[in-house]
A and B are shown apart, each in its own frame.
Chain A
């Protein structure tokens, strides 16, 4: 013990010596690096802004997102996505699940009061009935002749152009609009909606696929925030932490829980205390459902009187207990055993959800809690405890040095390098421990470290599909009115939003994303985007003017590599196209170039 201070001093000297050797970026590179790593990619003008404010100042703002006024364009675009503001129960009321629609169809649930919801539900019920009894029920066939309009309006509509039809629909009051849209053939109303305002499109989406509204809002909301938010670091961190505490959207009741999970559980804590975040996830219906803990019960749990015979007896489920330690806190090498997994699972028995399919919240059920004594990571949790058994476990885990190290390393992999230096991870882990898991301070330590600004890191990390797609739209200042095609693009690239089935979440290592299929898909997306042909994303093609070097520079905010410059130059000369065509072509090539695949 007496030698410890000496060893520590020696160790810190060694660290200092090592740190001083790391070659640093130039100041210009630093500004771009900050944008590349702390945002979803720079927009035109961002680099100048960072330089003007000063890098340290800009980082300070991003670490306090509440100090940054949000982009009004984002707020306006988010407004129609009403489910993003709803609780699970309200969401189910306005956009009933398939299960509820079946119950309504069978008369077990009343029809919704809201006109629009009722219209959508009635269409769904007709579809359901037809599926169930193909001979009995018939979907009402929509014809233009049957439109609920007076003869003049009808004739004008039938003989009108697409433009005039859209204008007419947009002039109708809500109730009448729903009536008319319902009477239109589905294909026609979809076509008209896609040519109309977001509000009109939404009405039609609700009628066509009410069951898809929730996940559509989620994906669209995420992309809009990533593209438009001024609080970029908060967005990047929300993505990181959602992924750390991953939930799979398509697992049953989770479809209606992920919205609140991301908004109320993840987002408020991304720069807060880790243990608050951990507790919030542990208590969230979304996580309890996803990792099956809501069904886990102690050996002494009473039988479920109303369950079918073979489901009466409940028992222990280890799923959450294991992933809590492996993926959320300690890491797989964090020093726990199978016995610990079982004991932790016992501690969390009784942490459950009230009626998951109806949007019920968390509750602790003492009747299914295992009240016996437990031993977790060498700590005895005495018999007779209740919900506090689980709370004690969370406390042990949040304070454990393995957790500090695991969290520090995960963040460093995402923000710094696929293989972050131990010296950096150790510093971040020390901050985690000394600040009781203050995630803002851990980020600050990372951003103050020479390792973050090492010259070798400049544009060295391969972009994930999400980073590639969003950074491309940001680079060309795309105006997003509909995210459907970007969402489809991410499916093709292997990163479907909210749909990583495994609790591991997506990899934070850029290198893992590189392969032939994804490279081709990136190139194709790049070209399509720069031609302004990604549906729902308007791109001003006149911005791609000047010589090829200038266009490349505007997108990369640094010179393209000599090889890329040469290839583009050669390719364009050969094509001998008019300037209006060349600009977008160069932009597409730049977005698809090796240079743009790194950040």
Chain B
């Protein structure tokens, strides 16, 4: 299509949207023009729901006290994948070691939310709202993290994989939940137009908003459904929801449909009992999925920062059932082209009794907002960091410096 015609379409469609009479196909055409063909900076947020045991994931094998606290569940020194003499990865995370060696994977240890709650629900809520201790916040940090735009934004700027829209992504910016790209459509084409018109016309503001975003996103994502997706470079995502999520995020990023923030979660980390039989499988899926994503993205990883989080850590000491109970600080992974990896960031508080938080948990030395904030500020380029994390004095002086300058 010649450029002049493209511009005509866009401008006239936008003008017509203004008076509310533009046919839907024209709106879509305009939309397609504003959102495709651009490489965007992308932040991918991963939530490990259930409070993953950071001490058995990024193992402080250089500290004997770790072994004293966990006589039956510690990862033996002989099995740890050593990173720097002090810390090492759980053996099930072996697929991540090459990323570490390539310096595209960094770790921030003893990080998390300063709020003392040990409730899964509250802690997830706080981490997703980005306002620990404040329940009244009605939107999520990832929604607020989107930089201001001029013109019509892509309907899939903010996309989460799964059947529900996570708290982190709720807010005034449009955000879509995609259960799977293949199913993201109205199957009955005859009904689709009428349904679209119904939701466009309804006085029910909530359903009107979601309906509008949905149909715009459907139009945009249709092109992705036509050809089966083949991950690049022989990348193989493990079977399961988490691998599927990352594969589809990669597909959307590479299709340049305008994704700027993406979200996926992986559950089942709440190992109160028999942790050594449950954690390895969880980590194997987690690690292999991240490694496949990295491989699949290839050079496009230059545009991507992926950061992981979990609502809190687990008790430093194992409990009576070869498990751990709810704790405090945790470990976060950061990976991507812009990352200065191969390094564990953050101050290590130690595991001696007097160093533990409330005498039982890993103490917190890095606020999760400083980790997320650095990517929002330097990678997404949204410097209104005070609005992303209201009530918190966030800013570059607190960043860990895990991104290349």
Contacts and interface: CB of A to CB of B under 8 A. Distances in A.
A597 interface: yes
Contact of B122 (A332, A502, A563): A332
Contacts of A594: 198-199, 202, 204, 207-208, 211
B188 A527 contact: yes
Contacts of B193: 571
B207 A517 contact: no
A326 B117 CA distance: 11
Contacts of B162: 494, 517
B219 interface: no
B269 to A, nearest CB: 10
Given A519-B214, A567-B201, A338 B118 contact: yes
A243 interface: no
Size band of the interface chain A makes with B: 35 or more
Contact of A501 (B206, B268, B320): B268
Interface stretch (B141-149, B171-179, B362-370): B171-179
Size band of the interface chain B makes with A: 35 or more
A310 interface: yes
Contacts of A327: 121
Contact of B203 (A502, A561, A572, A598): A561
A493 interface: yes
Contacts of B198: 563-564, 567-568, 589, 593-594
A515 B176 contact: yes
A504 interface: yes
B218 A515 contact: no
B351 to A, nearest CB: 19
Nearest to A327: B121
B399 to A, nearest CB: 32
Contacts of B211: 519, 594
Interface stretch (A133-141, A211-219, A506-514): A506-514
Contacts of B187: 524, 527-528
A455 to B, nearest CB: 16
B272 A292 contact: yes
Nearest to B268: A501
Interface stretch (A311-319, A394-402, A468-476): A311-319
B190 interface: yes
A400 to B, nearest CB: 17
B304 interface: no
A566 interface: yes
B163 A493 contact: yes
Nearest to B192: A523
B325 interface: yes
Nearest to B163: A494
B191 A501 contact: no
Given A494-B162, A504-B121, A314 B321 contact: yes
B50 interface: yes
A528 B184 CA distance: 16
B298 interface: no
Contacts of A502: 49-50, 120-121, 267, 270
A317 B325 contact: yes
A310 B213 CA distance: 54
A517 B119 contact: no
Contacts of B184: 516-517, 520
A297 interface: yes
Given A292-B272, A527-B187, A597 B207 contact: yes
A55 B201 CA distance: 34
Given A502-B50, A523-B186, A563 B179 contact: no
Interface in A56-102: none
Given A311-B322, A338-B118, A517-B163, A571 B202 contact: no
Q: Which of B187, B194, B218, B321 has the most A CB atoms < 10 Å from its CB?
A: B194
Contacts of A310: 71-72, 322
A327 B119 CA distance: 9
A170 interface: no
A50 interface: no
Contacts of A593: 195, 198
Given A494-B163, A514-B210, A516-B213, A504 B320 contact: no
A516 B217 contact: yes
Interface in A307-350: 310-311, 313-319, 322, 326-327, 332, 338, 341
A24 interface: no
B344 to A, nearest CB: 29
Given A317-B325, A515-B164, A516-B184, 9 more contacts: A317-B323, A338-B118, A338-B358, A504-B120, A516-B210, A516-B213, A524-B187, A563-B201, A567-B195
